[in-house]
Amino acid sequence: MRKGKLAKLYTIAAAAALATSLVIPLAPQTAHADRGVVDLWKAIKPLTTIASAMNTGAHPDDEHSAMLAYLSLGKGVDTSSVIANRGEGGQNEIGSELGNALGIIRTRELQEASKITNIHLENLSEKIDDPIFDFGFSKSPDETLEKWGEDVAYERLIRKIRTLRPDVVIPAFLNEPSTHGHHRAINVITVRAFKDAADPNVFPEQLKEGLSPWQVKKLYVPAQEKDYSVSVPVGAYDEIYGASYVQLGEESRFMHKSQGMGRHYDEGPSFSYYKLDQSIVETKAKEADFFAGIAYTFDDLAKETASQSGGEKVANELKKLQTDAEEVIAAYPSFAAVAKEAHEMLADVQKALRDVESSSLPAAAKTDLLHRLGVKQAQLNKASAEALSLVTKVKPETNELVAGQTTKVTVSAYNGGQAKVNNVKLALNVPKGWQARALSATSFPSLGYNQTVKTTYEVTVPGHAELFQPYAAPAITADVSYSFAGSTANSHVLPADAVAVLPAFAMTLDPNATVLNTLKPQDPIPVKVTVKNYNPGAAQTSISLEAPEGWSVEPKAAPLAFDAKGETKSVAFTIKASASVKPAPYTITAVAAGGGKESRHGAQVIRYPHIGTTYFVQPATLNVQAFDLKVPAGLKVGYVSSGFDNIDQYLSQLGVDVTNLTAKDIESGDLGQYDTIVLGIRAYGFRPELIPSNARLLKYVENGGNLVVQYHKPEDKWKPELAPYPIKIGTPLIQWRVTDENSPVTMLAPDHALFNTPNKITEEDWNNWIQDRSAYNPSEWGKEYTELIANGDPGEKEFTGTFLTAKYGKGTYTYSSLVWYREIPSLVPGAIRMFVNMVSLQQ
């Protein structure tokens, strides 16, 4: 079988192997060989160039995947991607997680995507609830930077540039009005950073920490074929990978499953275009590639170094590295030969590092050379492990720990290659304050073919250990060092899944958000607290709820005893507010106490096949929003969920009789039994039975039913004729939305039942909305509709098609692009009152 075909099997089946992680191959008999051969090439190709590039973006999935695949996998360029936020404000196409939980998913997807294109990933957002967050769609870079904190975002970007020191920087988007404000903001600060990263007067505190100013040599922006400086041949087919760079890039994009990303492309020529925006080197109108005029090889670097005072000796070492790199490439695909050449090059890199340190080169030149040689040393460490078929692992006894626990962690090295390695040392790394004690030898004189050495460490987590932070560096890692062919290499190892310090008793409240109707303040609020024991064995605790002053909780406390780790038990509580409760938000907190310890958190397990297992640790609370609400008795609603919202759950909490309609219900069931049928957001795109059954839905309305349709995108198979009177969704979508959640709203039909029955809607009901007002607003609609509101972003023309309703036969059809799916789970009183009115029409 040809190497290209072997590689193609690899790329389809084993994307994540780019980070030397274990994969599940499509063809077990050949995939191991494919993975080794292709990964070996990926590891040695970067040795041929000393150039570097950085792509900046705002959200996970903003990276220019095809271009990055070309640079990293095709050219071997040291390539990085810097992404601002975690995508917390988006939608989820694989589950119900939103907000921070979605941000965790999208971050893990981005990490896995980056492994496929073999790039170094960094985020400007550093932690949960970071100031640099995805607050939803923005039309303005100024608004974005104001909300992020411009100085915070800019300081972090300058820090990344000074740390990674890219020769070329490429923002993923232009700063133009038709572009998302987050994208525009990243362009603005990236373009500005071209000069500022080199200015020692900009964030001088970074220099005191050991960073040095860095002058990026070129900055390019996205362009089109009619006006560009560089065309990147992303459609070029690479025989070793068995795919084009577009296909390799899309392979990484398929990892963004929560966003429905990834497309299949046929083979054939295609290009990505970029225009030079700033440069400190001489350039031409049309350039061969990004690196024209920039040192690209060790020979280029040697020429630059030789021209500087004290640089001749170092220049000779760099020329030797040029020869070394060529010899490594020439040895491919022989694993043994590549291993020998790579270790000879590693020895020369280590000597060059010493020579640079002792040279009389100017400080800036020293810093630059030490950085580039440090990158090569890391790349050679990876190349060594691949060429020697050295498999290193760190395997915890358990990935779920609690403060004060003692556990075991095993570090191992397996030699799958024919060459023997010597002086093998296994080291475990743990956070400050943790204790790690080796229970057996950590050094081994040699490791031969098909042999394994391992060391088990006893690890103790301190009693004050911080709970798991999903964006922090892994708590437990390992380093495996070994000698071969005259030089010593090191393999840095991460666990396969997150190792997390979790609450000893993780609690989940059901519900975790609810409404307290001030018209019935003494109505009890039933709460179930589910407790999972993460202690390593039997444990006891007492569960209680902390409520606002004057509120009552029964029982006061409930003891729980667990026999084993992972066991789950539940406790039922009844909460009653004080008779004088006022409209306001309130918080109920669950507390697990006993043995001098206290837990106040829950741990949401986030697990998907493409990202593995991680956790979202958050306070175990119930948010209660008190306000007056009238709900008609006996109201019966059929809900057609798309899986992207959970409004049906909140309607049930309010006392509405909600039935989730199945495909069979929609196709042949008795729709007339429901007072109202609600279609969840984008339902036509994700419930295939809807379009064939649309005539039944319209007949339901005609016969006196109340049909409520939430927003859709054109790609959701929406057609104007799906509505009883045509509704066309505005395009481009970016222009047909209201992003300012505080923008004024005018009720155009204040006497309409929707604003009066059963709840009287006033201007106050438009207060305290979150993130947006509306998305994907209609641009055209039939004259039969009543326009209910006018609303727009400041300085823009107002939309009047956001909230439309019409009589059709005996019933009512309402189409709304207000973002109910965000407002109702956030317990926004006005949104809930209006939604109840909407589903109560004709009652």
Q: Left, alpha or beta for 433 (phi > 0: left; psi -120 to 50: alpha)?
A: left
φ and ψ at residue 681, rounded to 5 degrees? -55, 135
Distances 106 to 99, 134, 256, 662 between C-alpha atoms, Å: 11, 12, 7, 29
390-500 CATH choice from 2.60.40.1230, 3.90.1300.10, 3.40.640.10, 2.60.120.380 = 2.60.40.1230
pLDDT score at 381: 98
Is there a contact between 394 and 449 (Cβ–Cβ < 8 Å)? no
502-627 CATH choice from 3.90.1570.10, 1.10.287.80, 3.40.50.300, 2.60.40.10 = 2.60.40.10
pLDDT score at 223: 98
pLDDT score at 643: 84
Rounded to the nearest 10 degrees, what angle do helices 181-196 and 150-164 cross at? 50
Mean pLDDT by 10 residues, the chain (843 residues): 34 31 30 70 98 98 97 98 96 88 98 97 97 91 95 98 98 93 97 98 97 98 97 97 97 96 96 98 95 98 95 96 98 98 98 97 97 98 98 98 98 97 98 97 98 98 97 97 97 96 97 95 95 96 97 97 97 95 96 90 97 97 97 97 91 96 98 98 96 98 98 95 98 89 97 98 97 95 98 94 98 98 95 98 79
Residue with tokens 């029955």: 757
Burial of 702 (0-12, 13-18, 19+ CB in 10 A): middle
Q: Residue 341 CB: number of other CB atoms within 10 A?
A: 25
Strands (DSSP E) along 534-640, which ranges? 539-546, 552-554, 558-562, 568-576, 584-594, 597-599, 601-608, 612-619, 621-627, 636-640
pLDDT score at 34: 53
pLDDT score at 842: 81
DSSP β-ladder status, 406-415 and 390-396:
antiparallel
* Burial readout 599-616 (b: 16 or more C-beta within 10 A, e: otherwise): bbbbbeebebebbbebbb
Give ∠ CA 537-541-542 in degrees, rounded to 5. 165
- Six token digits for residue 495: 């666990």
Residue with tokens 């003891």: 559
pLDDT score at 185: 98
Give ∠ CA 709-715-720 in degrees, rounded to 5. 50
d(CA 352, CA 439): 38
Please name the residue ranges forming H helices in 521-587: none
Is there a contact between 790 and 772 (Cβ–Cβ < 8 Å)? no
Which residues are bridge partners to 678 per DSSP?
639, 708
Is there a contact between 509 and 532 (Cβ–Cβ < 8 Å)? no
d(CA 837, CA 843): 10
pLDDT score at 597: 83
Residues contacting 478, CB < 8 A, separation 6+: 392, 394, 411, 426, 427, 428, 429, 492, 493
% helix, strand, coil for the chain, step of 5: 30, 30, 40
Smallest CA-to-CA distance from 264 within 237, 283, 246, 276 is with 246
SS3 state at 659: strand
Is there a contact between 576 and 551 (Cβ–Cβ < 8 Å)? yes
Note the CATH number of domain 636-840: 3.40.50.880
Q: Is it true that 390-500 and 502-627 share their CATH fold? A: yes
pLDDT score at 17: 32
- Six token digits for residue 665: 């219900």
Note the CATH number of domain 51-294: 3.40.50.10320
pLDDT score at 33: 40
d(CA 638, CA 839): 10
d(CA 371, CA 165): 8
Smallest CA-to-CA distance from 50 within 380, 384, 493, 385 is with 380
φ and ψ at residue 504, rounded to 5 degrees? -55, -40
Q: Determine if the peptide bond prior to 732 is cis (ω within 30°).
A: yes
Q: H or E stretch including 513?
A: strand 513-517
Domain boundaries, the chain: 34-49+295-384, 51-294, 390-500, 502-627, 636-840
pLDDT score at 36: 86
Q: Residue 699 CB: number of other CB atoms within 10 A?
A: 16
If you count them, how many residues does the chain have? 843
d(CA 793, CA 35): 52
**Long-range Cβ contacts of 428-433 (<8 Å, 24+ apart):** 428/394, 428/455, 428/457, 428/459, 428/476, 428/477, 428/478, 429/476, 429/477, 429/478, 429/479, 430/459, 430/475, 430/476, 431/465, 431/475, 433/462, 433/464, 433/465
